[in-house]
Amino acid sequence: MTDKTDLAEDRTDWAEDRTILANERTFAGWMRTGMAAVAVAIGLRAVFREFEPTWVAKSVASVFILAALYVYWAAQASAAETQKRLDDHHANPQPNGRLKILAVILGIASAGTGVILWML
């Protein structure tokens, strides 16, 4: 028969695994938030196409691009820090390097989108 200490340790291990998975879902949510900011920047370009002076609309769109870049960086840093503090038991977390690569790829794509918006 399993004693109460073993059951408590199992529950703690499961809670830690759930926290690891919640951390990954939170990271994904922040990535979506960053991509939504880029979508707003693109939408501003479409809505204010005929706006004069054009640099004003482009500047506002750039603020959303910069916000997206910050969101990607902050989400990756926060997810990595949280993951360092946790031990996985049965969950298989994404490696921190993979999260960083995804954030960098989205950051480069978002910055490129900002450049294109200024060239239009």
Where along the chain do its domains lie?
A: 4-119
pLDDT (mean) for 63-86: 94
User: Which carries the bigger pLDDT value, residue 101 or residue 87?
Assistant: 101
Summarised one tens digit per residue, pLDDT across range 78-97 is 999 988 887 777 778 888 89
pLDDT of residue 2: 63
DSSP class per residue in 39-106: HHHHHHHHHTTT-SSHHHHHHHHHHHHHHHHHHHHHHHHHHHHHHHH---SS--PPPHHHHHHHHHHH
